[in-house]
Structure 1
């Protein structure tokens, strides 16, 4: 019949156009997807104690409520993103010309990007300067404000440290812009393959397994465990390692969590490498249906104590919408939890420099918005007996 022939042609043309569209999108994203490890890099990964059955694994496997995770996406908080523009503190090279009086200063640049000045060394964590946390420039989570400082206006950096290869932590556009920097790029096992593919010289890349360390000047940088995952496509889940880091200087010590759920070895990190003058722990992008992926506000305070931290600087919030909670909720819940235990929490505005050893006053730069309490939405990681 005529209508059946017409329907058949429509289906065929629609399928062909779909294939073409998918091919165009894949071509657009291809380089940003990165490249898998091979050769000696792959062989070294396979020798890691964390490598099992063709991929990396957490000692405490991640447990998900899959259906709950999907259903909650249809019920986001009305405050999931700011309704008014956020204005970060403008950062200029001149503010780094004078060393920190205490020897330790952290400039939070939003999400998990921080410039850490520690005993005369400068470390940049998970640099994210692109418009979107995505392999594509036109779709994906979009940042709420421009970077507080242009890459060209940063001071010289001794080490760029990457926690894992998810798009909001390993940004293709930013790393390509850094490929000619005279610095050391420190990454977990396997992540170096992405960097080398993007043009960063192999000799400038240091790949570490958990508990391995490298030295930059007088600074020891230790790759420490985390409880998370990795992957940039549908086919490379956990093909590279994820990590947290301890920065050990002659006088000061700092810890950065990367992305993580709560896990018992945090106490080991604190016992072996602490106490830390500052812990920079992720507090945002969580939900009770996937509590092993991201630690959540109250468990971040608990982790801070396990790590033997002196001051807690909450990170991984206030730049992207990656979960359904209100955007100010993470910091409100951290402050509530820390207030119950008298922990010191410092909350700089994006772009603001803070010296944890001083006594910074708490400037509530975020608006007063409704938020869900820990009792209403508890984040409790599994296998923590």
Structure 2
């Protein structure tokens, strides 16, 4: 018997009877994955960072410092974020294991250390997941959280609650795009992203994917999740902005002909940043896993070039070190 989407709503463009889809349509054609993999092997891509992996780590990594009590955000590498908001701790897409893979001995290996362990957190209140790919939903990390912080409340897109409960998570809220949950004064809104989902060979797009907007008093943070570029994404800022801070992806974009429907490149990230009001923006989805053809150190260089091409000369959209943090309490134009 064919699987039927239990959340199906014919009035919503991203719903189908079989699961979910991007309203923009799909760009990949049958055979594209095999074509990309062949070219990747033939060209021996990706290349290592220009000065090697140790030098890359020296330049772009630091241990996460959790001291203080202010509202603050940490970049934990790739798409993982930690937010302290009103003395509550929020983890987003915490993939902290050695590999982004279902197997401990194969799959993309972490090239930079995780700047934080679950054991170091003083407490954990909320965990947000954008989608079920292995570089965003990491089973060992989720099981650690469930054991150490059994009261942590997970917020996930439609179709992911069962997976979380099977790994020991006690409290899970599933949301569709534009749905929100307010918990202890913090509002979490699931927002659109242009991507896809798949955990096994037989569950493609049966779970939804999303970004998140986190709002509490003067703080309003947009985490885009894993997303290709779409003009539709600017609607998020129109409906829920302006933002104190945004986190936009700049990595895993090469080759563009294959990745464009699921990952935006730096030029597209800059265009979206401009369309959404130029908030202070953390570039994410780079620096840890080699998921595409560009080298690990290419995205920050490509971002700088994209900003110059767009006529933008400021530091409101600039790379952070993995493990670096910024206060969310500065109401001026920049965060420190």
TM-score, normalised with respect to structure 1 = 0.76
| Pairs within 5 Å for 1:164-175 | 164-175=131-142
Identify unmatched segments of 5+ residues in structure 2: none
- Does residue 334 (structure 1) correspond to residue 309 (structure 2)? The answer is no
- Does residue 325 (structure 1) correspond to residue 298 (structure 2)? The answer is no
Identify unmatched segments of 5+ residues in structure 1: 1-37, 362-385
Structure 1 counterpart of 2:221, from 232, 245, 254: 254
In 2: Cα distance, 1:78 partner to 1:160 partner: 34
Aligned residues between the structures: 313
Q: Report the secondary structure of 2:222's partner residue.
A: strand
Q: What's the CA shift string for 1:310-369, capped at 9, x where partnerless?
A: 2111011000100111211111121222342245124221111123647469xxxxxxxx
- Does residue 289 (structure 1) correspond to residue 260 (structure 2)? The answer is no
In 2: Cα distance, 1:309 partner to 1:187 partner: 27
> Residues 355 and 334 of structure 1: is their aligned pair in 2 closer, same or farther, counting only changes over 3 Å?
farther
| Pairs within 5 Å for 1:62-77 | 62-64=26-28, 66=32, 68-74=35-41, 75=43, 76-77=45-46
> Residues 57 and 337 of structure 1: is their aligned pair in 2 closer, same or farther, counting only changes over 3 Å?
same
* Structure 1 contact 80–325 (Cα < 8 Å) conserved: no
Q: Match of 1:21?
A: none
Residue 154 of structure 1 deviates from its aligned partner by: 1.2
* Structure 2 contact 280–335 (Cα < 8 Å) conserved: no
- Does residue 351 (structure 1) correspond to residue 320 (structure 2)? The answer is no
Q: Match of 2:62?
A: 89
> Residues 360 and 219 of structure 1: is their aligned pair in 2 closer, same or farther, counting only changes over 3 Å?
closer
Greater Cα offset, 72-81 or 164-173: 72-81
Q: What's the CA shift string for 1:197-219, capped at 9, x where partnerless?
A: 11212xx1010000000012111
- Does residue 60 (structure 1) correspond to residue 24 (structure 2)? The answer is yes
Structure 1 counterpart of 2:95, from 106, 128, 152: 128
> Residues 236 and 261 of structure 1: is their aligned pair in 2 closer, same or farther, counting only changes over 3 Å?
same
In 1: Cα distance, 2:126 partner to 2:209 partner: 18
Q: Report the secondary structure of 2:174's partner residue.
A: strand
CA RMSD of superposed structures (Å): 2.2
Residue 157 of structure 1 deviates from its aligned partner by: 2.3
Q: What's the CA shift string for 1:27-65, capped at 9, x where partnerless?
A: xxxxxxxxxxx99xx62x224723214121110112026
Q: Match of 2:268?
A: 299
Residue 99 of structure 1 deviates from its aligned partner by: 2.4
Greater Cα offset, 320-329 or 223-232: 320-329
Q: Report the secondary structure of 1:178's partner residue.
A: helix
* Structure 2 contact 98–110 (Cα < 8 Å) conserved: yes
Q: Match of 1:163?
A: 130
| Pairs within 5 Å for 1:1-385 | 43=6, 45-47=7-9, 49=12, 50-64=14-28, 66=32, 68-74=35-41, 75=43, 76-79=45-48, 83-85=52-54, 86-87=57-58, 88-93=61-66, 95=67, 98-100=68-70, 103=71, 105-180=72-147, 181=149, 182-201=151-170, 204-287=171-254, 288-290=256-258, 291-339=260-308, 340-342=311-313, 344-355=316-327, 357=330, 359=334
Residue 114 of structure 1 deviates from its aligned partner by: 0.8
In 2: Cα distance, 1:80 partner to 1:141 partner: 16
Q: What's the CA shift string for 1:5-24, capped at 9, x where partnerless?
A: xxxxxxxxxxxxxxxxxxxx
* Structure 2 contact 112–287 (Cα < 8 Å) conserved: no
Residue 194 of structure 1 deviates from its aligned partner by: 0.9
In 2: Cα distance, 1:81 partner to 1:317 partner: 15
* Structure 1 contact 69–289 (Cα < 8 Å) conserved: no
Residue 184 of structure 1 deviates from its aligned partner by: 0.9
In 2: Cα distance, 1:92 partner to 1:158 partner: 19
TM-score, normalised with respect to structure 2 = 0.86
Greater Cα offset, 333-342 or 81-90: 81-90
Q: Radius of gyration: which is bigger?
A: 1
In 2: Cα distance, 1:68 partner to 1:302 partner: 29
In 1: Cα distance, 2:95 partner to 2:154 partner: 14
Residue 309 of structure 1 deviates from its aligned partner by: 4.1
Q: Report the secondary structure of 2:141's partner residue.
A: helix
